[in-house]
Chains A and B, each alone.
Chain A
């Protein structure tokens, strides 16, 4: 089959590598969808670009502003999609968007036990572990154990609230602002807000001492 192309072969002359079963299936479906006129090559390219343009930096900006500006935080919690639109973050594909704020007493952690629902416009693509059966099972029945594996030991008096995003809601956690960050700018604070802290399995990064 002289005209059978592997992925990327049209564009790069890199070394060949073995494709997994699932990758082969995805490429076969892609080829069929194009052949049958359901989507075009250009549609797929545009969607791939959109996907790559979304990163956790969007969420980090929301969190850093919420830390520094109580009025912003109140508006964000009240109407997150409106605030995203004002900031140029395209959250229109999110059906509904809910903000969960960690406090000294309550910690939130997000999972989708049924599949891999995730606030992609705000956080980009979900990490592999978020989609794993292991996380999806244990996040609901042993959230403290999961957090411990991420390096977080919670005292018993802190209440853990797991959110299973089974339907139209997408959840974003505002982690607690790290101590000793009073003098930092919004840009410096953004660097402390990790993807995992916005899923709720970790804290934000500590401030780096001068």
Chain B
């Protein structure tokens, strides 16, 4: 589903942990965590512009990113296969070394 450039399905990614003021759709708990690209949903208007009266352009790629729960939460059952999926815009992601699901 990827449309050239960006991250490939299955590629390991880390969520950037920087702080950005204003309307941001990257939840705090997932910052700094490593997961994998499950799929690319395409390009969407940027909420960090829309949220402040802007036009949301240029559009940015939005990914469905999967994480193992045990990698996200201290104390989550280490044997668990449970996962959490978060919709994350491309500029919040960076390549990571860890393998995918």
| Interface residues in chain A, defined as those with a beta carbon under 8 Å from any beta carbon in chain B | 95-96, 113-114, 140-141, 143-144, 156, 159-169
For this complex, 10 residue pairs linking A to B, each with C-beta atoms less than 8 Å apart, are A141-B73, A144-B82, A156-B79, A160-B69, A163-B84, A164-B27, A164-B30, A164-B85, A167-B25, A167-B89
Please classify the interface of chain A as helix (H, G, I), strand (E, B), loop, or mixed, using the class held by over half of its residues.
mixed
Q: What residues make up the interface of B, taking CB atoms closer than 8 Å to A?
A: 25-27, 29-30, 41, 44, 47, 62, 64, 69, 72-73, 76-77, 79-89
A165 engages B29 (CB within 8 Å): no
Chain A residues within an 8 Å CB radius of B85: 161-164
B41, A169: Cβ atoms closer than 8 Å: yes
B37 to chain A, nearest CB (A): 14
Complex Cα spacing A151 to B55, Å: 45
In the complex formed, the residue of A with least CB distance to B30 is: A164
In the complex, the answer to whether A166 meets B29 with C-beta atoms within 8 Å is no
CB A87 to nearest CB in B, in angstroms, measures 23
Which residues on B sit within 8 Å (CB–CB) of A167? 25, 44, 47, 62, 87-89
Given contacts A113-B29, A141-B73, 19 further A-B contacts (CB under 8 A): A140-B72, A141-B29, A141-B76, A144-B82, A160-B83, A161-B85, A162-B69, A162-B82, A162-B84, A162-B85, A163-B84, A163-B85, A166-B27, A167-B25, A167-B88, A167-B89, A168-B41, A168-B62, A169-B62
CB atoms of A143 and B44 under 8 A apart: no
- The answer for the CA separation of A168 and B25 in the assembled complex, in Å, is 10
Q: Which residues of A contact B76 (CB under 8 A)?
A: 141
Q: Which of B27, B44, B73 contacts A113 (CB 8 A)?
A: B27
> In the docked arrangement, what's the CA distance between A95 and B87, Å?
13
Pick from A140, A163, A167 the residue with the most CB of B within 10 Å: A167
Assembly CA distance A109 to B85 (angstroms): 10
- A168 and B80 in contact, given A113-B29, A141-B29, A162-B85 (Cβ under 8 angstroms): no
Contacts of A165 in B (CB 8 A): 87
With CB as the reference atom, state the residue of chain B lying closest to A139: B84
Structural contact, B86 and A166, CB atoms closer than 8 A: yes
Let me know if A164 and B87 touch, CB within 8 A: yes
Query: How close is B29's CB to chain A, nearest CB, in angstroms?
Result: 7
**Residues of B contacting A169 with CB < 8 Å?**
41, 62, 64, 87
A164 proximity list for chain B (CB < 8 A): 27, 30, 84-87
Contact B44 A95 (CB under 8 A): yes
Known: A113-B27, A114-B25, A140-B29. A166 touches B88 (CB 8 A): yes
